[in-house]
Amino acid sequence: MAKWKMIRKSVFLSVLVVFCMGLLFICNPQTSSASDKITWNISLWGGERDWTRPLHRWAEDMKNQTNGRWIIKLHYGAVLSPSKENIDGIKAGLFEGCQFCGSYAPGKTPLSRVFELPFILPQDPEQISQMMAALWEHPAIKKELLKWNAVPLFPAAITQYGLMGNKKIVKAEDFDGIRIRIPGEMARVVTQFGAVPVMLPVADLYEAMDKGTIDMGTLPWPFSFGAFKIHEVSKYVTTNFSPGSNSCAFLANKDAWDALPDDFKEMHKKWYQKAPKVWGDEYKKGEKKWLPIYKEKLEFVRFPDEERAKLLSKAEGVHKRWIKLMEKRKLPGQEVYDYFLAKRKEIAGF
């Protein structure tokens, strides 16, 4: 009888252990073994273009290197989230990765927007992405992203902005009265010459230009104008405006990242390290594709150096204003600004 009780007790304990392990798995769905298949959904707006095209190669590479265990799905057209709410979706865990632009969500990542200060960036696309990677290393920026449960996915920044539309801009004063789509801090320069900035999502720009409610648009040069067909509703393009860029890149949900097996992380990190060159090369391909198309349709305008200098002369005041605003909010604006300029010196030499 005692032996039978011991057997029943042993069976009971075995069942209990199995039950607890099952319960633990249910409560921790992110826990994964080497044989589990992991699916990531990436929230994107617009369609496939130079800025997103390398993601397809990354997704395919991760699938192949993990023998099909890491499946990355790219969702275009803002079907998972409105473009302005991608970082909210990351925080809520609605998807594992996304595109993000600081000016689309003002106030959510204020320190990161040092990246958007006018005339602060180098011209070379690869160096611009290197600047983003460097910025993400600052402790205050890491902390800012973690408020949204976000970590860097790729420092694949976008290029310097160009200027396209239906008004011919040949001097600074020509901005007077121009309704222009331009991101926040860059807008503070042209407003000093009378421009009327309107910040709307890029997906809405074509219709606004076509209806004449917007005169000019600034977008990453040259690919974004073509990707959103802005050249089809424009007459002029200014190639050397180059006021800066937006604080745009790709983010991941921290919980999703932490849950990845270590070998997956190592595979991705190799892609992360080469991202500035990969995206830089993609942008150079875009120039070869889009410039001939634009030249058939548009009048190319070069902004005279002395006129561009007038814009640059207003940039310093915008920079100081941003620093003061950050400090007023008890954020280390001066520290981040000085750090950013030091990294620019290392990367671009000025």
DSSP per-residue letters across 40-59: EEEE--S-S-TTTHHHHHHH
What pLDDT is stored for residue 253 in this prediction?
98
Instruction: Calculate the average pLDDT of the chain.
Output: 91
φ/ψ bin of 299: left (φ > 0), alpha (ψ from -120 to 50), beta (otherwise): beta
pLDDT at position 113 is 95
| Cβ-based neighbours of 209, under 8 Å, separated by 6 or more | 165, 166, 217, 230, 233, 234
Contact 196, 180 (CB under 8 A): yes
Q: How many Cβ atoms from other residues are within 10 Å of residue 143's Cβ?
A: 10
Sign of the CA dihedral with 46 first, then 47, 53, and 57 last: positive
Give yes or no for a contact between 229 and 298, defined as CB atoms under 8 angstroms apart. Answer: no
Amino acid 35: pLDDT: 58
Q: Are strands 161-165 and 216-220 parallel, antiparallel or unpaired?
A: antiparallel
Fold match flag (38-157+247-281 vs 161-245+287-348): yes
CATH architecture of residue range(s) 161-245+287-348: 3-Layer(aba) Sandwich (3.40)
* Phi, psi of 41, deg, nearest 5: -110, 130
Query: Is domain 38-157+247-281 classified as CATH 3.40.190.170?
Result: yes
Give the residue extent of every domain in the chain. Answer: 38-157+247-281, 161-245+287-348
- Could you give the count of Cα atoms lying within 13 Å of 59 in the half-sphere of its Cβ? 15
329: phi then psi, degrees, rounded to nearest 5: -90, 10
In which residue ranges of the chain is pLDDT below 70?
A: 1-35
Element (H, E) at 153: strand 150-154
